[in-house]
Amino acid sequence: MNASVHFATIGAMILCGLGMGTAFDVYRVACSRFSVRRWMLPGFDVVYWAAATLVVFRVLLARNEGEVRLYVFLGIAIGITGYFGLLSPTVIKLVGALFRAVRSVLLFVWRAIRVVLIVPVLWIVRTLARLIDIVFVVTAALLLWIGRPLFKPVAKLGKWIWRLLLPVRERARPIAEFFRSARAKWRAILELLKRKD
């Protein structure tokens, strides 16, 4: 393997180190912005390191057919150290500003959707509900007003049937009184049990 491949691999590894540092800062800022619970962080760390390892391995496959040598680790270390020494504070500020900008844009879009779509639809639904209530009340009042003369013969028939059933009602009265007294006793027992508890 010639020297140009070695230098290209070292350069690629330095870039991988820079990318790993940038991704780590983005990940840290995102965790603080979204208030990620502490017990979830180890899982996210495993995902981060697995993704970083896969990316480095893919770059190595493309550059020197996947040969792992000492200069590979040296290049990654140079990239990470250089990133955290020179670029990390600036990137953290930029990522924080980007998150704030995205949040502002999303809030603006949500408010616009709410004003243009949700509020009018809610107003239409509430207005229709009120109109349906008014129509129902007016219809019920009209039906009662119109139907009152029609119900008079039916009411007379009902009174006649009620008088006709007087003997049956007299016989059923002791049974109804028995059930009423049994229900009263049952309630009294329940009250006693509640007081003892």
pLDDT per residue over 83-98, tens digit each? 998 888 999 999 999 9
pLDDT tens for each residue of 3-53: 777 788 888 889 999 999 999 989 888 888 887 788 888 888 898 889 988
Phi-psi region of 35 (alpha: psi -120 to 50; beta: other; left: phi over 0): left
Q: In angstroms, rounded to a whole number, what is the distance separating the alpha carbons of residues 40 and 91?
A: 24
Look-up of token digits 């896969």: 54
Distance CA 121, CA 42 (A): 45
3-state secondary structure 116-153: HHHHHHHHHHHHHHHHHHHHHHHHHHHHHHHHHHHHHH
Write out the two tokens for 103: 């949040």
Of 51, 5, 4, 58, nearest to 24 by C-alpha is: 51
pLDDT for 11 equals 87
pTM over 0.75: no
Q: How many CB atoms lie within 10 A of CB 157?
A: 10
Residue 161: predicted pLDDT: 72
Residue-level pLDDT at 59: 86
pLDDT tens track for 44-91: 889 888 998 898 888 888 877 777 778 888 888 999 899 998 888 999
**Distance from C-alpha of 143 to C-alpha of 135, rounded to nearest angstrom:** 12
% of the chain residues with pLDDT over 90: 17
Is the pLDDT at 152 greater than 70, yes or no?
no
- Residue 35: CB partners within 8 Å, gap ≥ 6? none
Q: What is the pLDDT of residue 147?
A: 65
Higher pLDDT: 140 or 122? It is 122
**Average of per-residue pLDDT across 181-192:** 82
27 Cβ neighbours under 8 A, 6+ residues apart: 44, 48
Tokens 């040296």 sit on residue: 74
Those residues with Cβ within 8 angstroms of residue 73's Cβ, 6 or more apart along the chain or in another chain: 13
172 vs 60, higher pLDDT: 60
Show contacts of 139-146: CB within 8 Å, 24+ apart: none
Stronger pLDDT, 66 or 133, i.e. the higher one: 133
Residue-level pLDDT at 150: 64
CB 60 within 8 A of CB 67: yes
DSSP state at residue 65: T
Region 107-129 average pLDDT: 89
Higher pLDDT, 157 or 142: 142
pLDDT at 196: 59
Average pLDDT, whole number, for the chain? 83
